[in-house]
Structure 1
Amino acid sequence: MPAARRKAAAFVTAGVVGAAPFALTVCAAGSAAAHGSLGDPVSRVAQCYAEGPENPRSAACRAAVAAGGTQALYDWNGVRIGDVAGRHQERVPDGELCSAGNEAFKGLDLARADWPATSVRRGSYTFKYRVTAPHKGTYKVYITKPGYAPSRPLAWDDLDLAHPVATSTDPAASGGFATFSGTLPQHSGRHLLYTVWQRSDSP
């Protein structure tokens, strides 16, 4: 899947069945012309845009603007790489997963423990991906492994790539959102979801 990544952070409570709650931030990846971003839980870039690109409320979003400017937030649905054809791990270097290696979105790569986060519990979860240019393709949602430290730059080895928490091909879209189900594992503390959206009608 071409790599467009976003770290998601939101102060939304998810009513998911399970044990103790943990907090999620989100990074998303999309293909060349697949425009969108995870809306529930909300991605970092979408959350920062919702806070107001010129003067975001949260310290992490303000730091992202200081690092990369406001245009990345106005382009909240455009973190992507074209012509990747599933080679996103080859094309996107460690530490640049949330920007998809795109300099314009470098503020999203900041290693911080204070990105806005969604409180969730383990168990079934309904993911809502906001699509502004829908395309056929497959979504995969990964979660960081136990021991993940949000204060360190995100690396591919931080993600449990062998066990996506959700996978969906051509999910139905309604009201501007593609909706699909997944299962969150037993985790504690702060973790990150990383979404990859690979178009099937384009590399």
Structure 2
Amino acid sequence: MHTKNDTAGHPRWATRALVLASVPLLGLTALAAPASAHGSIVDPASRNYGCWDRWGADHQNPDMAQEDPMCWQAWQDNPNAMWNWNGLFRENVAGDHRGAIPDGTLCSGGNTEGGRYDSLDAVGEWKTTPVDDDFTVHLYDQASHGADYFQIYVTEEGFDPATQELSWDDLELVEVTGSYAPANDILVDVSTTGRTGHHVVFTIWQASHLDQSYYLCSDVDFG
């Protein structure tokens, strides 16, 4: 159980924000700069953060459709799934995560925010981050909410994110932490074994300032 706060270099969000400020929205009035009140897993990148990190400053590039088709479908479905990469949370779940988030909707937090993040549940070849059996999950918490705890799951060997919908029974709980004091960066060490290829790391971050639960899917490739 991890209770120590760790810090690391900030992700590229600040640089991206400066670039985005100079990019015309070209009529896409639904778009907004990332809010400053929330956060996400930046390594291994959550689906929403990864799409924004790769394409936020280049969102008009048609190459996204071929180079990153899962982010492309997310962009077509609702640009704010990517633009608001730091806002995927539910309130007042009271710890009943499995009861609040139905199978097939884990990566969207159970169709939260009026379906804004539904595209993150799409089955397909999401871009992956290479990891070893022992790896570190890095939360970037813009407002330094802190954490009551983290629960980190990894899909079982044999699960195929490219062809199967993600359900609770596909996951193994590999790490449960204690609390973390408020900080911008929190690192949690994770150990697992017996996995190869594409898997999903599913992180529940229970923020400390309110009963606010974040549900974050990161696609990884075990070498």
TM-score by length of 2: 0.67
Whether 2:197 is the aligned partner of 1:189: answer yes
Deviation at 1:126, TM superposition (A): 2.2
Mapping of residues 97-176 of structure 1, within 5 Å: 97-101=106-110, 102=112, 103-112=115-124, 114-122=125-133, 124-135=134-145, 136-150=147-161, 151-160=163-172, 164-171=173-180, 176=184
Deviation at 1:170, TM superposition (A): 3.0
In structure 1, list runs of 5 or more residues that go unmatched. 1-32
Across the aligned residues of Structure 1 and Structure 2, the Cα RMSD in angstroms comes to 2.1
Report which stretch shifted further, 176-185 or 143-152: 176-185
Deviation at 1:140, TM superposition (A): 1.4
Percent identity, aligned pairs only, is 31
Q: Distance in 1 between matches of 2:130 and 2:209?
A: 35
- Report the secondary structure of 1:125's partner residue: strand
> What letter corresponds to residue 190 of structure 1 in structure 2?
H
Q: Distance in 1 between matches of 2:37 and 2:167?
A: 23
Asked which structure has the greater RCO (Cα within 8 Å, sep 6+), the reply is: 1
Which residue is 2:74 aligned to? 64
Structure 1 or 2, whichever has the larger Rg, is 2
- Report the secondary structure of 1:146's partner residue: coil
In structure 2, list runs of 5 or more residues that go unmatched. 1-35, 212-223
Whether 2:77 is the aligned partner of 1:42: answer no
Deviation at 1:34, TM superposition (A): 7.6
Deviation at 1:125, TM superposition (A): 1.9
Greater percentage in helix: 2
Q: How many residues of Structure 1 are paired with residues of Structure 2 in the alignment?
A: 164
Deviation at 1:180, TM superposition (A): 2.0
Q: Distance in 2 between matches of 1:34 and 1:81?
A: 14
Deviation at 1:201, TM superposition (A): 4.7
Query: For residues 102-127 of structure 1, what are the alpha-carbon distances to aligned partners after superposition, in whole Å with 9 as ceiling and x for unaligned?
Result: 21101101011x101011221x3222
- Report the secondary structure of 1:86's partner residue: coil
Q: Is the 8 A contact 2:135 2:189 kept in 1?
A: yes
Deviation at 1:85, TM superposition (A): 0.9
TM-score by length of 1: 0.73
